């Protein structure tokens, strides 16, 4: 059993160490931008080579398919420039590598001349590919010469990445002395540069080495250091692996209580990684919905055209039959009236759908583009701070980016449910529900956001309160109201959810926050049922009035009532009144 636990640790961290995991991605952004500048300079210098220019721009934009197309077009041109050909082969090799087509990537990299200015980057890429293929001796042959590069060349790649990967390669080959040498140098290098994320990976790699050699007294302190440092970084995957390693260490030491604590923390980070994929699922569903809506419009137009044809034929036959029989003419006249009614009904339906479509486009073009523009601006500032290594500013920018992405995700989610509700495609079933458990389920998903702002949360809903409502729509209403309460709450504020039973027919569910509050004008505007969406009063907070419109629509469909009590600067109470069970 002991040997199995040891193997669990080694395998779990090898995966990170071999490719340098999230460290390669996060730390290489600055270095990659320097190479991108070189590519941009080449594009500007050789504008006459249109295919090369397009290939270079698509490479900078990470559009790998287009990069492959235009770099091939450039290489197929009769007039060739040796230096540009090297760049084109590099573009293709790196694109294939990203797409995990390693054999094709190696072919392209091998076509690059040794005199290429960035041949050392090519060797590094080849080393990464053969590591993926578990060819560790070949990887060493590519990477070991890179340890002697000049400081000028190290501006384009991280020295610590080279030492980390070499150490792991020797560890796989059981050459422990060399592995220890490179991994210790990597630890020292990251300490000097104060690279916290890199140091987490470095500590984990050296710990695996000593654990492989059964030097637990040396390995465990490094595992503990990696775990402690992981608390100060944002990279969820690094936190997850450091926590899992500590769980296995404690299992080996027979301290199962600590091991269980670490296992629970590991599951939390693991779930966090899975949640990041939800926004892509929402985008996919919305795309499918848009396609269906367009198909409906086409079908309606086809039906209208057919109706016009029928009308024209009807008039023609009526004129002919009028000469023969008055009675037949009256029959066709009645048919014409019936057809016109159908056309009018179809036109009204089409106008309604067009109004819905215009509203959808208005929301997407304004609010979603605002979020994307904010993210682009923040990312530009982020790159500037990466170059100056301003960690304090970086932390704030990353948190800001997270808030922007969460806001965009909530917009897409609300937009989907709102569209389904407007087009009467949502499933709706009113049943008896206990409010306390519904509130607990929804609030659980928002605890990390409340912890981040240090917002105190209290759920005092009585477990005896039972209402008649559709469960899924009620959850959507609570999610939006709780999200708004957190968004508009100040740091160290409080949020309370409770019920009031002052009416025999309705149960009042109250979401109260101690946040910014609103003016009386804003409160009345939010309660007003208008076609246009209500605009938020606090322009510095990213969001849209769609969420509240969705809440009001769903509360109305649940045969409930909605009201707001608020005072500027003194917080807000959102009150949802739902029918009680009889």
pLDDT for 278 beyond 70: no
Neighbours of 134 (CB within 10 A): 11
Write down the pTM of the prediction: 0.44
Bridge partners (DSSP) listed for residue 456: 494
175 against 420, higher pLDDT = 175
Question: Which residues 6+ apart lie within 8 Å of 36 measured at CB?
Answer: 60
Domain covering 427-579: architecture: 2-Layer Sandwich (3.30)
* Predicted pLDDT of residue 25: 34
For 21, counting Cβ atoms within 10 Å of its Cβ (0-12 exposed, 13-18 middle, 19+ buried), the class is buried
545 against 513, higher pLDDT = 513
Local confidence band at 188 (pLDDT 50, 70, 90 cut-offs) = confident
Lowest-confidence pick of 265-269, 298-302, 368-372: 368-372
192 against 372, higher pLDDT = 192
Segment of 386-395, 406-415, 510-519 carrying the highest mean pLDDT? 510-519
369 against 118, higher pLDDT = 118
* Predicted pLDDT of residue 73: 92
The Cα–Cα gap between 59 and 53 comes to 10
pLDDT for 69 beyond 90: yes
* Predicted pLDDT of residue 547: 78
The DSSP bridge pattern shows strands 456-459 and 494-500 to be parallel
% of the chain at pLDDT higher than 70: 77
pLDDT for 23 beyond 70: no
% of the chain at pLDDT higher than 90: 26
91 against 322, higher pLDDT = 91
Mean pLDDT of the chain: 79
The Cα–Cα gap between 258 and 114 comes to 54
Domain 2-276 of CATH type 3.40.640.10 = no
* Predicted pLDDT of residue 400: 66
The Cα–Cα gap between 184 and 171 comes to 13
Mean pLDDT of all residues in 466-479 = 90
pLDDT (tens digit per residue) in 484-521:
898 888 889 999 999 998 888 999 999 999 988 888 88
pLDDT for 292 beyond 70: no
Local confidence band at 261 (pLDDT 50, 70, 90 cut-offs) = confident
Local confidence band at 524 (pLDDT 50, 70, 90 cut-offs) = confident
pLDDT for 30 beyond 70: no
Question: Which residues 6+ apart lie within 8 Å of 57 measured at CB?
Answer: 43
* Predicted pLDDT of residue 2: 28
Contact 286, 415 (CB under 8 A): yes
pLDDT (tens digit per residue) in 142-175:
999 988 888 888 888 888 888 889 988 998 998 8
């Amino acid at each position: 059993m002991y040997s199995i636990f040891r193997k669990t640790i080694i395998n779990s961290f090898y995966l990170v160490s071999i490719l340098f995991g999230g460290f390669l991605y996060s730390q290489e952004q600055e270095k990659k931008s320097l190479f991108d500048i070189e590519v941009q300079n080449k594009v500007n210098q050789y504008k006459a080579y249109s295919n090369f220019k397009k290939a270079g721009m698509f490479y900078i934009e990470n559009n790998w398919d287009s990069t492959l197309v235009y770099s091939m077009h450039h290489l197929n041109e009769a007039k060739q420039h040796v230096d540009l050909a090297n760049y084109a082969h590099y573009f293709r090799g790196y694109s294939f590598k990203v797409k995990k087509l390693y054999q094709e990537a190696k072919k392209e990299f091998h076509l690059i001349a040794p005199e290429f200015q960035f041949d050392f980057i090519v060797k590094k890429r080849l080393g990464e590919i053969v590591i993926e293929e578990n060819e560790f001796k070949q990887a060493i042959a590519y990477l070991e010469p890179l340890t002697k590069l000049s400081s000028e060349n190290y501006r384009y790649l991280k020295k610590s990445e080279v030492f980390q990967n070499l150490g792991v390669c020797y560890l796989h080959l059981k050459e422990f002395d060399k592995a220890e040498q490179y991994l210790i140098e990597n630890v020292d290098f990251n300490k000097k540069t104060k690279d916290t994320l890199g140091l987490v990976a470095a500590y984990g790699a050296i710990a695996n080495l000593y654990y492989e050699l059964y030097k637990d007294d040396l390995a465990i302190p490094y595992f503990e250091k990696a775990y402690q440092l992981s608390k100060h970084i944002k990279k969820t995957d690094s936190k997850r692996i450091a926590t899992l390693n500590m769980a296995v260490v404690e299992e080996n030491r027979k301290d199962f209580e600590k091991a269980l604590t670490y296992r629970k923390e590991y599951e939390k980070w693991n779930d966090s990684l899975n949640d990041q994929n939800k926004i892509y699922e929402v985008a996919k569903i919305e795309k499918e919905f848009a396609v269906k809506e367009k198909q409906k419009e086409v079908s309606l137009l086809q039906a209208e055209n057919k109706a016009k044809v029928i009308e024209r034929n009807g008039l023609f036959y009526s004129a002919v039959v009028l000469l023969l029989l008055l009675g037949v003419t009256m029959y066709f006249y009645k048919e014409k009236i019936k057809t016109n009614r159908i056309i009018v009904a179809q036109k009204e339906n089409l106008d309604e759908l067009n109004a819905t479509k215009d509203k959808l486009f208005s929301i997407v073009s304004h609010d979603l583009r605002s979020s994307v523009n904010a993210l682009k601006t923040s990312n530009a500032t982020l790159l500037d701070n990466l170059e100056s290594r301003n960690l304090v500013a970086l932390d704030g920018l990353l948190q800001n980016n997270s808030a922007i992405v969460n806001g965009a995700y909530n917009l897409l989610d609300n937009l989907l449910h709102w569209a389904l509700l407007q087009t009467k495609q949502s499933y709706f079933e009113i049943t008896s529900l206990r409010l306390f458990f519904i509130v607990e389920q929804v609030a659980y998903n928002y605890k990390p956001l409340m912890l981040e702002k240090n917002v105190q949360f209290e759920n005092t809903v009585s477990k005896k309160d039972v209402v008649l409502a559709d469960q899924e729509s009620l959850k959507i209403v609570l999610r939006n109201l709780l999200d708004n309460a957190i968004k508009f709450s100040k740091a160290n504020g409080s949020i309370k959810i409770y019920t009031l039973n002052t009416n025999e027919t309705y149960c009042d569910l109250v979401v109260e926050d101690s946040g910014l509050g609103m003016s009386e004008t804003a409160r009345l505007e939010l309660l007003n049922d208008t076609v246009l969406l209500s605009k938020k009063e606090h322009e510095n907070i990213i969001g849209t009035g769609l969420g509240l419109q969705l809440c009001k629509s769903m509360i109305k469909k649940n045969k409930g009532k909605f009201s707001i009590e608020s005072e500027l600067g003194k917080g807000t109470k959102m009150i949802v009144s739902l029918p009680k069970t009889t």
